[in-house]
């Protein structure tokens, strides 16, 4: 791994996208022919090695399915025990190393790195370039990455509700990943995107107050304890894994409960929240549609009628394939990190959620919640607290084509102009999607004339001008070219 540098971010070291600049789909011409076949063959070989013990036990168990109940129970128990060992943290790390799924450090590529809306120029090793943007881009990127809040498995906290769980090890990764995404939204809202963690004490009071919100007790507004309680209606329970869609709805529920219980000026969640879905809610809600009127209504309700627009958090749950991400979506996913409003992706490998924060070519950088740490009592007014366990300078990366197709993308818009800029970028990205957008934008739900051509409204929304439905494909969907049948929620 390359050496890590510390320093203060200089605006020259990075570049942000301009609202007038054209949207370019990332990764559209970065693939190397032949490389994927080699990678797949290696993965298949090692996968067979690690999966073979499971298949032996499962075959034996199934063959005895009509036999004695007690023997079958012991066999299933032994199978589950072996699986727990093989899927445990240490063994999982070994598998990732051998399979090549988990890499650390920055690759040898000199392509730009996009981290939550900020671009870093990476120089070639040994380059004689005197351009400070290229020479210092790597150090600035590492400083930015290590300033993002890391929330991992914790042990030793008070039992969750009526359960006996005092740790979320092996089941809380999706909750932790979602906490990191929301923490990033709060950091941008309170401190700005250019904020970097200070190496000196006392620490920023606003930063400590944000960390306190994600403490591991019922006293912390966004703790695992309170998330599980808010997610009862979506089958969230201690000890059980949850998917991105239910996680997004849980945050919506938690924010709503807090808004009803607290006065506006004392709310811990200082923004409206919009879970973007299709015309029909639920897991089969169709392609997500950002409706400008819906967003406006949510902001008005959040302010309790005091303002027409407020800061807003958008969560877009997606299913982009069956067992893997459809390749057509990979460049589009990468391009979302160029949006200034980007909060990254809630997702990761199948059964192991992570918080994806950046991309370079077709690899993603992520924060990993799967490290077990002791609980830390973080108080908002203690500016001398050791917060080192909430950050990491270990750069982990994974190929975008290996992430779970079930994921959620996050965006934060600070005001109406920022939201209009987001809608403009999202519409341009949809235009470049060749008929298979991640999501679309419309002014109102009753405007459902759609598909390939778009016209921007005065509010920054896209009104589609074609014959296919903008919100939900109906019986005429067969007439639309390149209709996407992968994207079901």
> Catalytic residue numbers?
173, 368, 370
Extract the tokens encoding 427.
Answer: 């519409």
Reference 421, options 319, 330, 340, 315; nearest CA is 340
299: DSSP letter: H
In the chain, how long is the greatest CA-to-CA distance?
75
CB neighbours of 332 closer than 8 A, spacing ≥ 6?
A: 25, 429, 432, 433, 437, 438
Helix, strand and coil in the chain, % to nearest 5: 40, 15, 45
Question: Which three-class secondary structure state does DSSP give residue 413?
Answer: strand
Q: Which two tokens stand for residue 323?
A: 């067992």
Which residues on neighbouring strands pair with residue 342, listed in sequence order? 411
Query: CA 193 to CA 107: how far, in whole Å?
Result: 25
Two tokens at 257? 């409960």
Whole-number Å distance between alpha carbons of 333 and 27: 10
Phi, psi for 406 (deg, rounded to 5)? -90, 115
Termini Cα distance of the chain: 39
| Token code pair at residue 144 | 């930015």
Report d(CA 440, CA 216) in Å as an integer: 37
Phi/psi class of residue 156: alpha, beta or left (left: φ > 0; alpha: ψ in -120 to 50)? left
Burial annotation 466-487 (CB, 10 A radius, 16+ → b, else e): eebbbbbbeeeeeebeeebebb
Element (H, E) at 293: helix 292-302
Q: Residue 237 is encoded by which pair of tokens?
A: 């329970």
- Contact yes or no for 463/457 (Cβ under 8 A): yes
374 with 168: CB under 8 angstroms?
Answer: no
Rounded to whole angstroms, how far apart are CA atoms 407 and 487? Answer: 11
């Amino acid at each position: 791994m390359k050496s890590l540098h510390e320093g203060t971010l200089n605006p020259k070291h990075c570049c942000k996208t301009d609202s007038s600049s054209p949207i370019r789909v990332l990764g559209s011409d970065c693939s190397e022919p032949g490389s994927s076949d080699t990678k797949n063959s290696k993965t298949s070989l090692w996968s067979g090695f690690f999966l073979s013990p499971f298949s032996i036990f499962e075959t034996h168990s199934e063959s005895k399915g009509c036999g004695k109940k007690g023997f079958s129970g012991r066999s299933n128990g032994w199978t589950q025990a072996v699986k727990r060992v093989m899927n445990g943290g240490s063994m999982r790390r070994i598998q990732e190393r051998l399979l090549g799924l988990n890499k650390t450090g920055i690759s040898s590529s000199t392509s730009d790195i996009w981290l939550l809306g900020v671009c870093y120029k990476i120089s070639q090793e040994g380059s004689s370039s005197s351009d400070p943007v290229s020479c210092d881009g790597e150090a600035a990127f590492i400083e930015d990455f290590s300033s993002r809040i890391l929330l991992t498995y914790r042990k030793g906290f008070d039992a969750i509700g009526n359960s006996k769980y005092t740790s979320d090890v092996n089941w809380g990764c999706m909750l932790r990943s979602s906490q990191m995404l929301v923490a990033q939204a709060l950091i941008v809202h309170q401190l700005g995107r250019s904020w970097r963690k200070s190496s000196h004490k006392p620490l920023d009071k606003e930063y400590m107050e944000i960390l306190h919100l994600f403490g591991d007790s019922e006293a912390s507004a966004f703790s695992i304890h309170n998330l599980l309680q808010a997610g009862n209606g979506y089958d969230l329970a201690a000890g059980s894994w949850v998917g991105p869609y239910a996680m997004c709805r849980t945050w919506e529920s938690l924010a709503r409960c807090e808004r009803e219980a607290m006065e506006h000026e004392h709310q811990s969640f200082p923004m409206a929240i919009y879970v973007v879905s299709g015309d029909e809610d639920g897991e089969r809600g169709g392609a997500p549609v950002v409706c400008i009127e819906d967003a406006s209504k949510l902001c008005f309700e959040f302010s309790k009628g005091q303002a027409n627009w407020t800061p807003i958090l958008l969560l877009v749950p997606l299913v982009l394939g069956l067992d893997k991400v459809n390749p057509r979506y990979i460049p589009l996913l990468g391009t979302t990190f160029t949006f200034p409003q980007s909060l990254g992706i809630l997702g990761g490998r199948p059964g192991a959620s992570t918080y994806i924060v950046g991309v370079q070519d077709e690899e993603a950088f992520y924060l990993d919640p799967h490290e077990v740490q002791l609980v830390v009592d973080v108080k908002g007014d203690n500016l001398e607290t050791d917060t080192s366990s909430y950050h990491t300078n270990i750069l982990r990366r994974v190929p975008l084509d290996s992430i779970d197709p079930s994921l959620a993308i996050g965006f934060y818009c600070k005001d109406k102009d920022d939201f209009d800029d987001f809608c403009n970028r999202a519409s341009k990205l949809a235009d470049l999607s060749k008929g298979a957008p991640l999501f679309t934008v419309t002014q109102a739900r009753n405007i459902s004339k759609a598909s390939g051509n778009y016209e921007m409204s005065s509010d920054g929304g896209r009104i589609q001008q074609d014959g296919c439905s903008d919100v939900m494909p109906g019986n005429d969907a067969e007439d639309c070219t390149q209709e996407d049948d992968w994207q079901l929620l």
